Structure 1
Amino acid sequence: MAFGGNYLILFGLALSAFGAVSRSVTDQLTNSSAVLLRVDQSGNGDYKTIQEAIDAVPSNNKELVFILVKPGIYKEKVTVPADKPFITLSGRKASETFITWSESGGIFDSPTVSVLASDFVARHLTIQNTHGSSGKAVALRVSADRAAFYGCRILSYQDTLLDDTGRHYYQNCYIEGATDFICGNAASLFEKCHIHSLAEGTGAITAQRRESPSEDTGFTFLGCTITGTRTAMLGRPWGDYSRVVFALSYMSNVILPQGWEDWGDQSKQRYIFC
Structure 2
Amino acid sequence: MRHLILILTGLLLVLSGYSQQRKLVVAADGSGDYKTVQQAINAVPDSSQQLTVIYIKKGVYKEKVILPATKLNVKMIGQDKNATILTYDDYHARKDSTGKEIGTSGSASVYIYGAGFSAENLTIQNTAGIDAGQAVALWVAGDKAVFKNCCFLGFQDTLYTFGPGSRQVYIGCYIEGTVDFIFGAATAWFQDCDIFCKKKGYVTAASTPDSVKYGYVFKNCRIAGNAPDQSFYLGRPWRPFAKVAYINCELGRQIIATGWDHWGKESNKTTAYYAEYKNTGPGFKPAERVTWSHQLTDQEAAEYTIIKVLNGWNPDLTYKK
Q: TM-score, normalised by structure 2?
A: 0.73
Q: Are 1:118 and 2:115 an aligned pair?
A: yes
Are the aligned partners of 2:19 and 2:50 in contact in 1 as well (CA < 8 Å)?
no
Alpha-carbon separation, structure 2, partners of 1:110 and 1:158: 11
Residue 76 of structure 1 is matched in structure 2 by: 63
**How far is 1:32 from its partner?**
6.7
Q: How does 1:258-273 map to 2 (within 5 A)?
A: 258-273=258-273
- Percent identical among aligned pairs is 39
Are the aligned partners of 1:164 and 1:184 in contact in 2 as well (CA < 8 Å)?
yes
Give CA deviations for 1:188-229 in whole Å, capped at 9, x if unaligned: 1000000011133xx1010000242x2244000000000122
Residue 127 of structure 2 is matched in structure 1 by: 130
Residue 220 of structure 1 is matched in structure 2 by: 217
Alpha-carbon separation, structure 1, partners of 2:169 and 2:234: 19
- Number of matched residues? 241
Alpha-carbon separation, structure 2, partners of 1:220 and 1:259: 16
Structure that is richer in strand per residue:
1
Are the aligned partners of 2:187 and 2:208 in contact in 1 as well (CA < 8 Å)?
no
Give CA deviations for 1:125-182 in whole Å, capped at 9, x if unaligned: 0000000122110000000100000000001101100011100110000000000000
Residue 313 of structure 2 is matched in structure 1 by: none
Residue 25 of structure 1 is matched in structure 2 by: none
1:50 to 25, 37, 49: 37
Alpha-carbon separation, structure 1, partners of 2:74 and 2:271: 38
Are the aligned partners of 1:81 and 1:116 in contact in 2 as well (CA < 8 Å)?
yes
Alpha-carbon separation, structure 1, partners of 2:249 and 2:256: 15
Which secondary structure does the structure 2 equivalent of 1:53 belong to?
Answer: helix
Are the aligned partners of 1:107 and 1:162 in contact in 2 as well (CA < 8 Å)?
no
Q: Are 1:93 and 2:80 an aligned pair?
A: yes
Q: How does 1:1-274 map to 2 (within 5 A)?
A: 33-105=20-92, 106-133=103-130, 134-165=132-163, 166-200=166-200, 203-212=201-210, 214-229=211-226, 230=228, 231-274=231-274
Which secondary structure does the structure 1 equivalent of 2:162 belong to?
Answer: strand
Are the aligned partners of 1:185 and 1:217 in contact in 2 as well (CA < 8 Å)?
no
Code of the aligned partner of 1:162: Y
Alpha-carbon separation, structure 2, partners of 1:211 and 1:116: 19
Q: TM-score, normalised by structure 1?
A: 0.86
Code of the aligned partner of 1:172: G
Alpha-carbon separation, structure 1, partners of 2:54 and 2:180: 31
**How far is 1:89 from its partner?**
0.7
Write out the 4+ residue segments of structure 1 that deviate beyond 3 Å after TM superposition: none
Alignment RMSD: 1.1
Q: Tell me, which stretches of 5 or more residues in structure 2 are unaligned?
A: 1-17, 93-102, 275-321
Code of the aligned partner of 1:244: V
**How far is 1:46 from its partner?**
0.2
Which structure has more RCO (C-alpha within 8 Å, separation ≥ 6)? 1
Q: Tell me, which stretches of 5 or more residues in structure 1 are unaligned?
A: 1-30
Alpha-carbon separation, structure 2, partners of 1:108 and 1:69: 25
Alpha-carbon separation, structure 2, partners of 1:108 and 1:216: 25
Greater gyration radius: 2
Alpha-carbon separation, structure 2, partners of 1:177 and 1:103: 16
